Amino acid sequence: MGQIDLIDISKSYDKQKNVLDEINLSIEEGEFFVLVGPSGSGKSTLLRMIAGLEDITSGTLKISDKIVNHLPPKDRNLSMVFQNYALYPHLSVEQNILFGLGAKKVNKKEQQKRLAETAEMMGLSELLNRKPKELSGGQKQRVALARSVVSEAPLCLMDEPLSNLDAKLRAQMRIEIRRLQKRLGLTMVYVTHDQVEAMTMGDRIMVLNDGKIQQVGKPITLYNEPENLFVASFIGSPKMNMGKAVYSMNQNQLVIEDTLRIAQGPDMDDIPGNIDLTVGIRAEHLLPGTAENTTHHLEAVNVEQLGNETLIAFDVGSTLWMAKWLGQWDVQVGEMVPVHIDSGNFCFFDSNTGLLIKSANFVKEQEVVSI
Amino acid sequence: MSMHSTAIPATAGSQIHFDKVKRKQRIKNFFKGMLFLLPSIVLFGVFLFYPLVRTIYLSFFLTDAAGNTTVFVNWENYVNLFSSPVFLQSIKSTFLFVLYTVPVTIIIALFLAVIANEKLRGIGLFRTLYSSTMGISVAAASVFWLYLFHPSIGLLNMLLEAAGIDGVGWLTDPAWALIAVSITTIWMNLGFTFLILLGGLQSIDSYLYESADIDGAGYFYKLRRITIPMLSPSLFFVITVTIINAFQTFGQIDILTQGGPVNATNLIVYSIYREAFVNYQFGSASAQAVLLFIIILIMTFLQFKIGERRVHYQ
């Protein structure tokens, strides 16, 4: 039993279509759990159901082994940080932080003690008398976090807390939130649509799409062994390169998007030949070809120089495949570029069900070498 | 060296040239702006500024029955006002009237707005009902209340008598007349005040309440710490507007009491009207109008001074 258990949780607004469909999930104590999915996938609704701000249509929600379906938010012993911070614009930072303690009638001495500790921890001591409109985005974010910390609730829910910050500040706050969670031993449920945030912060990630769980697991597992096409294309940046593939048994070749021909290797022995296949390959596995190992020549249609690495888009049939090469490569648009594709790096999916048939087997041995 | 000597006149010359063009553009922009403002300036000038200046001018004269100035009397009109028991009574009644109507209107409207802000089925019906008095003209409302206040066939007295209490001469008893007019006015102002406050309530971010729910705040804690402060701009607006409206009340007085009994409801605007168009004392009426203008100006100024500290604009 974890700290939060969701058993067959469903949600529908009009009693016809389920926004969330039979979610089963267990979140452990002290875990940083990330809910990630595109907008409209139901991740915020799920979080608000845990918080008690939305009714649960059916299913059971347990927090610390107690059923809490019927409890109002204040009796669930949790704190929440909202996307727009929900700071009270008419109250100073100090009053904002103490709002919840005042509501719970915590005595004044205790309030001041906790305020001092929290302000110190969050670096807000200098700002206590300011109004929210006099704060920068990052400072507002810290006040929102402080409000959650000061409540001393063991469970903290966050609804896209970083989406209003610029990229630099976001990277910094990611680290701060992660540190805070570890230091206080909080159980964190964190909603985001940004897969980078999910990958970098989560102990475990749940990918949600259309109200259904796509996959739950460690970030690296989701990256290496995506259970279906959705997870494969959602996790990772740039996204996994995909292509429709057909077996030509007589020639012992795999034909991708009618253009790429891959000789059948030992890796493909257990792939059934009689179904529609989709293959996927990560950008970092579309390697530059040397004189010895070049397998294909592909046309570069776009080149992005990032300084430490080069992103090259190749034209493959009807789609573009991205390659991520370490270092600076002088490639011209329109050039035919030699590349090395190893059939072992492919993930195979069933095109009809979208499910993974076989993941890439580069996993252990090769990663160590290339990084 | 020669480079410098040639460079300086060149830059100075171009500087002057720029200035000329800029000044030309500024003048052109000014006239363009004026052209856009012209319709408002003309309308305000004819219907507002000219009458205002004319009123101030008239307040220093005696006039004939047609309103033509006859004798310049300096401050005498004003001096007479402050020694006139009728005018002093009218000032007193006006302030009492403001005191009776404004707080009660706002408290009732706030209560209605808070309960109409709940998300319930069919709440639209109640919102329409509560704001419906806004759509009723002063004349219609006054006539309607005239019947309710009627001493023998009026509903109010019938109810009182059914409860075994003697009927009240609502509009004829000097002790009750101002209260009766106040009740009518409160009822009439309720719709507008309710609507503004409901609008204010609905613009409060629901996240604030959700966050307070998670923090464990109770209903009244939320009302006191979130709703009222966040509503303060709307509250300030309706307080200002209802005070000004109360000072300018005319229609309901004219229909319900005509200033009587014994001048108990002779509010200042009604007094101005009677002085000008019943007694044909345009000079004295103008002096009263100027005084009313000054009173409202001071009240509004004070409100803004006090309001600045208590109103939280986003």
- A51 → closest Cβ in B214, B218, B314: B214
Average pLDDT over chain B reads 87
CA distance A88 to chain B (A): 7
- pLDDT surpasses 70 at A18: yes
pLDDT of residue A341: 87
**Which one of A44, A48, A50, A53 makes the best mutation probe of the B interface by having the most chain B beta carbons within 10 Å?**
A53
Nearby residues of A21 by Cβ (< 8 Å), 6 or more positions away: A10, A211, A212
| Cβ contacts from A onto B, under 8 A | 71
For B217, nearest residue in chain A (alpha carbons): A103
Give the pLDDT mean for B107-124: 91
Instruction: Show me where the domains of chain A are located.
Output: 4-226, 238-362
DSSP string of B207-226?
A: HHHHHHHHHT--HHHHIIII
Which is it for strands A296-305 and A287-288: parallel, antiparallel or unpaired? unpaired
Tens digit of each residue's pLDDT (9 = 90 or more) over B243-267: 999 998 999 899 988 887 888 888 8
Report how far apart the first and last C-alpha atoms of chain B are (Å, whole number): 60
Inter-chain touch B216–A103, beta carbons under 8 Å: yes
Tell me how far apart the alpha carbons of residues B16 and B32 are, in angstroms, rounded to a whole number.
24
B213: chain A residues, CB-CB within 8 Å: 52-53, 72-74
Confidence of residue A370 (pLDDT cuts 50, 70, 90): very low
A54: chain B residues, CB-CB within 8 Å: none
- Helix axes of A93-103 and B206-215: crossing angle, nearest 10 degrees: 50
A68: chain B residues, CB-CB within 8 Å: none
A151: chain B residues, CB-CB within 8 Å: 215
| DSSP state for residue B46 in the 8-state scheme | I
**CATH class as words, domain A238-362:** mainly beta
Inter-chain touch A74–B217, beta carbons under 8 Å: yes
Inter-chain touch B214–A88, beta carbons under 8 Å: no
Do residues A306 and A270 lie in contact, with contact meaning Cβ atoms separated by under 8 Å? no
DSSP string of A122-163?
A: HT-GGGTT--GGGS-HHHHHHHHHHHHHHTT-SEEEEESTTT
pLDDT of residue A369: 44
CA distance A25 to chain B (A): 23
Tell me how far apart the alpha carbons of residues B93 and B267 are, in angstroms, rounded to a whole number.
6
A51: chain B residues, CB-CB within 8 Å: 210, 214
For A102, nearest residue in chain B (alpha carbons): B217
What number of other Cβ atoms are within 10 A of residue A216's Cβ?
19
DSSP string of B226-251?
A: IIHHHHHHHHHHHHHHHHHHHHT--H
DSSP string of A254-280?
A: EEETTTEEEE--GGGTTS-SSS-EEEE
Report the share of chain A in percent with pLDDT over 90: 25
Which CATH code of 3.40.50.300, 1.10.10.10, 3.40.50.1820, 3.30.420.40 fits the domain covering A4-226?
A: 3.40.50.300
Low-confidence winner among A63-77, A153-167, A342-356, B163-177 (lowest mean pLDDT): B163-177
What three-state secondary structure class fits A299? strand
| DSSP state for residue A16 in the 8-state scheme | S
Instruction: Show me where the domains of chain B are located.
Output: 2-58, 84-310
- Smallest CA-to-CA distance from A357 within A285, A276, A282 is with A276
- pLDDT surpasses 60 at B12: no
- Sign of the Cα torsion B9, B14, B18, B21 reads positive
**CATH class as words, domain B84-310:** mainly alpha
Nearby residues of A205 by Cβ (< 8 Å), 6 or more positions away: A33, A34, A36, A198, A199, A216, A217, A218, A219, A222, A235
- Is the Cβ of B217 closer than 8 Å to some Cβ of chain A? yes
Inter-chain touch A73–B213, beta carbons under 8 Å: yes
- Smallest CA-to-CA distance from B73 within B303, B309, B299, B283 is with B283
Write out the two tokens for B77.
């009109």
Contacts within 8 Å (CB) and 24+ apart, B101-104: B101/B182, B101/B185, B101/B186, B101/B189, B101/B242, B101/B246, B102/B239, B102/B242, B102/B243, B102/B246, B104/B182, B104/B186
- Is the Cβ of B166 closer than 8 Å to some Cβ of chain A? no
- pLDDT surpasses 60 at A102: yes
Give the pLDDT mean for B174-189: 90
- pLDDT surpasses 90 at A166: no
Tell me how far apart the alpha carbons of residues A319 and A63 are, in angstroms, rounded to a whole number.
46
Residue type, A153: A
**Which residues is A79 bridged to in the sheet?**
A156
What number of other Cβ atoms are within 10 A of residue A368's Cβ?
7
B212: chain A residues, CB-CB within 8 Å: 99-100, 103
